[in-house]
Structure 1
């Protein structure tokens, strides 16, 4: 069965590293993290692996080039929809808390994406696949076209990423 992508991306932000040496978070860690799915603009969310570094490495006896794969590369940037309180000021404990957690250049966080048949509002479960996630460092927020809502785009520098890994059980 094919599934429409609409409302199926779940982004979760952790402010502390997962306990497992593998970097794969547990279901408890993910569900305790900040669900930033409703705070991120879907139309320009870049959270994907890109072409790996490549280099020519052929044996002397080969005709034509032979390439080998090098380091993995990623395109990681999110635009945050800013949220403010009725009384004024940013909603730092609510919908704006994800942006507040990464808005300072050089901040380390751990962000994970699940993209599946589940709605983004559904909690993480053991065995869910983390499409891409891991340790990232935020660059300075960029002011983008503020037609509509106020927004800030942040590019992230990937540090230790995991691709297509299952969420672990445990507390």
Structure 2
């Protein structure tokens, strides 16, 4: 059955490195769910074309290419949230932004995009579309029509894609 993507993207941010390259359901559930703090319309969290280089054996006619290193497009726009009485809400929805707003911060971010709602907890067998260790760049002020927001590009360091969560 086909599934509409609306409300199905779960972004989870970990402040500490998981024990293995592929985090467990428990590690993911202990992280910060930033799904409601990230603007869906311009969330970039995907693989892009790998590096390619010519590697044509002498006996081949026409061009022949080989795949090189993987590349990624990883940038998120965070919706800012403040306390009712004023000031930064470092424990609510703004906690994700607070964790990555300093240029050069290393965190681990994972995206689940399946038939489950973004509010559902991670479970064994869930598929991680893309995730891993990333380093934040400086926040960029973007069009603030509507809510205040900041866009952060991330430099991927060690990524996994299309893998299943284990116990």
CA distance in 1, matches of 2:132, 2:24: 13
Matched residue SS, 1:38: helix
Residue in 2 that maps onto 1:8: 8
Residue in 1 that maps onto 2:93: 95
Residue in 2 that maps onto 1:19: 19
Residue in 1 that maps onto 2:34: 36
Of 148, 151, 154, the residue aligned with 2:149 is: 151
TM-score normalised by length of structure 2: 0.99
TM-superposed CA distance for 1:108, in Å, is: 0.1
Residue in 2 that maps onto 1:163: 161
TM-score normalised by length of structure 1: 0.97
CA distance in 2, matches of 1:102, 1:128: 25
CA distance in 2, matches of 1:10, 1:152: 19
TM-superposed CA distance for 1:90, in Å, is: 1.2
1:98-130 Cα deviation digits (max 9, x unpaired): 000000000000000000000000000001000
Number of residue pairs matched?
Answer: 167
Of 42, 64, 72, the residue aligned with 1:66 is: 64
CA RMSD, 1 decimal:
0.4
TM-superposed CA distance for 1:87, in Å, is: 1.1
CA distance in 2, matches of 1:153, 1:147: 14
Gaps spanning 5+ residues in structure 2: where?
A: none
Residue in 1 that maps onto 2:43: 45
TM-superposed CA distance for 1:151, in Å, is: 0.1
Residue in 1 that maps onto 2:111: 113
CA distance in 1, matches of 2:118, 2:71: 26
